[in-house]
Structure 1
Amino acid sequence: MTATPTRNPGIEDTSAGVLAVPRRSLGQRALSGGTVLALVALVLFFFAMRPDVFLTFTNVRNILYQVSILAIIAVAQTVVMVVGDFDLSVAATSSLSGSVAGALLTAGQSVTVAVLAAVAVGLAIGLVNGLLVAYLNLSAFVATLASMTSIVGAAYLVTQGTTLFNFPAGFTQLGQGRLLNIPMPVYLAVLIALVAWAVLRFTTIGRSWYAIGGNVEVARLSGISVRRSRLLAFTVAGLVAGIGGILLAARLGSSSAVQGSDNLMFSVAAVFLGMTVIRSGAANLGGTVIGVAIIGVMSNGLNILGVNSYVQQVVTGIIIIAAVTLSSLKTRSR
Structure 2
Amino acid sequence: MTTTSNPGLEDTSTLRVPRRSVGQSLLSSGTVLALVVLIIFFFAMRPDVFLSFTNVRNILYQVAILAIIAGAQTLVMVVGDFDLSVAATSALAGATSAALMLGGTPTGVAILAGLAVGLLVGLVNGLLIAYLNLSAFVATLATLTSVTGLAYLVTQGTTLFNLPADFNNLGQGRILQIPLPVFFAIGVLVVLWFVLKYTTLGRRWYATGGNVEVSRLSGVNVRRARLLAFTVAGVVSAFGGILLAARLGSASAVQGSDNLLFSVAAVFLGMTVVRSGAANIVGTVVGVAIIGVMSNGLNILGVNSYVQQVVTGLIIIAAVTLSSLKTRER
- TM-score band, normalised by shorter chain: over 0.9
C-alpha separation in 1, matches of 2:216 and 2:321 = 30
Of 102-111 and 316-325, the range deviating more from structure 2: 102-111
C-alpha separation in 2, matches of 1:111 and 1:41 = 43
Q: What amino acid sits opposite 2:187 in the alignment? A: L
Q: Does 1:65 align with 2:61?
A: yes
Q: What amino acid sits opposite 2:219 in the alignment? A: G
Query: Where in structure 1 do 4 or more consecutive aligned residues deviate above 6 Å?
Result: none
Partner of 2:151: 155
- What are the equivalent positions in structure 2 for 1:1-334 lying under 5 Å apart? 16=12, 19-334=15-330
Count how many residue pairs are aligned between Structure 1 and Structure 2: 325
C-alpha separation in 2, matches of 1:143 and 1:85 = 11
Contact 1:272–1:283 (CA<8 Å) still a contact in 2? yes
Of 103-112 and 222-231, the range deviating more from structure 2: 103-112
Deviations along 1:98-137, whole A, 9 cap, x unmatched? Answer: 0001111111111011101000000110011000000000
TM-score (normalizing by structure 2): 0.96
Contact 1:71–1:292 (CA<8 Å) still a contact in 2? yes
Contact 1:102–1:114 (CA<8 Å) still a contact in 2? yes
Q: What amino acid sits opposite 2:237 in the alignment? A: A
C-alpha separation in 1, matches of 2:13 and 2:265 = 45
Deviations along 1:47-83, whole A, 9 cap, x unmatched? Answer: 0000000000000000000000000000000000000
Deviations along 1:122-173, whole A, 9 cap, x unmatched? Answer: 0110011000000000000100000000000000000000000001111001
Q: CA RMSD in A?
A: 1.5
Contact 1:98–1:255 (CA<8 Å) still a contact in 2? yes
C-alpha separation in 2, matches of 1:167 and 1:54 = 33
TM-score (normalizing by structure 1): 0.95
Q: What amino acid sits opposite 2:296 in the alignment? A: N
Task: Go from structure 1 to structure 2 and tell me whether the alpha carbon gap of 1:257 and 1:178 turns closer, same or farther (over 3 Å shift).
Answer: same
How far apart are residue 15 of structure 1 and its match? 8.2
How far apart are residue 254 of structure 1 and its match? 0.2
Q: What amino acid sits opposite 1:43 in the alignment? A: I
Contact 1:100–1:118 (CA<8 Å) still a contact in 2? yes
Q: What amino acid sits opposite 1:279 in the alignment? A: R
